[in-house]
Amino acid sequence: MSDLSFTAVVPAAGIGSRMAADIPKQYLSLGGRTVLEQTLARLLDHPAIGRIIVATAEQDPWFEQLAIARHPRILRVTGGRERADSVLNALAHVETDWVLVHDAARPCLHRLDLDAVLAAGQQPQGAVLACRVRDTMKRGDGEGAISTSVSRDELWHALTPQCFATVPLRQVLSDALAAGCVITDEASAMEWAGFHPRLVEGRADNIKITRPEDLGLAGFFLQQMNESKI
């Protein structure tokens, strides 16, 4: 697939509160570049991806300092209060029939996983990269004790990229947010509208850098990836 049929949307407007760093986690150093630059490099390399629309915070002073900010395929737009708002703002600038949304905080995306979710996503239901739960899952009682165990059969971690037809996603995300739904990924909005996105099994090292311990892990995964030239 090399027809530039996808636009990538990269939500990068978060503050990284769980990372507890001095700057938003997408601008922390990883493998000699920022997290965001590492993520964008994975997307720029793919022949099916044309433009990349990066949603940053309105007052973000860091993005424009990056050389990649002047890349001809990259457009910066202003994000929103929540991740879903940032994605919706970016979707307003997507002109292709198909779009993939990928977190700025997920730099360890393997090419084969990106190939797979792009191939699976070009159909009405869309597709999300995901990995099966490995641990026994518990639901807490809210007071620090186990309420119950949750069957891990068919329990998945939703990752990104998540791929959909642009027009339906834009409309459904707008409607779901207007209806007051809590939307933490694009698939949630599509499910709310009755769609059943495909699950594309991906690698568990496609981690979302969220907490301090994730940065070192991401550095290790990236080093492994670069050594194996994936």
Ligand X SMILES: Nc1ccn([C@@H]2O[C@H](COP(=O)(O)OP(=O)(O)OP(=O)(O)O)[C@@H](O)[C@H]2O)c(=O)n1
Binding residues vs ligand X (CB under 6 A) = 11-18, 26, 55, 79-83, 86, 103-105, 208, 210
Binding site for ligand LQXTBERG (CB under 6 A): 83, 103, 158-160, 184-185, 208
| 83 or 110: CB nearest ligand LQXTBERG | 83
Residue with CB nearest ligand X? 14
End-to-end alpha carbon distance in the chain? 17
CA–CA separation, 170 and 189 (whole Å): 10
| 9 or 49: CB nearest ligand LQXTBERG | 9
How far apart are CB 115 and ligand X at their closest, in Å?
22
Contact partner at residue 184 from ligand LQXTBERG, ligand X, none, CB < 5 to 8 Å by partner kind: ligand LQXTBERG
| 42 or 83: CB nearest ligand LQXTBERG | 83
How far apart are CB 104 and ligand X at their closest, in Å?
4
Tokens of 8: 């990538």
How far apart are CB 191 and ligand LQXTBERG at their closest, in Å?
13
CA–CA separation, 191 and 20 (whole Å): 32
How far apart are CB 16 and ligand LQXTBERG at their closest, in Å?
10
Contact partner at residue 185 from ligand X, ligand LQXTBERG, none, CB < 5 to 8 Å by partner kind: ligand LQXTBERG
| 83 or 110: CB nearest ligand X | 83
Per-residue 3-state assignment (H helix, E strand, C coil) for 150-218: ECCCCCEEEEEEEEEEHHHHHHHHHHHHHCCCCCCCHHHHHHHCCCCCEEEECCCCCCCCCCHHHHHHH
CA–CA separation, 175 and 194 (whole Å): 13
Distances, alpha carbon 2 to alpha carbons 71, 81, 115, 147, 164, in Å = 19, 34, 10, 49, 17
Contact partner at residue 104 from ligand LQXTBERG, ligand X, none, CB < 5 to 8 Å by partner kind: ligand X
How far apart are CB 149 and ligand X at their closest, in Å?
27
Contact partner at residue 16 from ligand X, ligand LQXTBERG, none, CB < 5 to 8 Å by partner kind: ligand X
Neighbouring residues of 91: CB distance < 8 A, sequence distance ≥ 6:
9, 99, 166, 169, 170, 173
Q: Is the dihedral of CA 219, 87, 79, 74 positive or negative?
A: positive
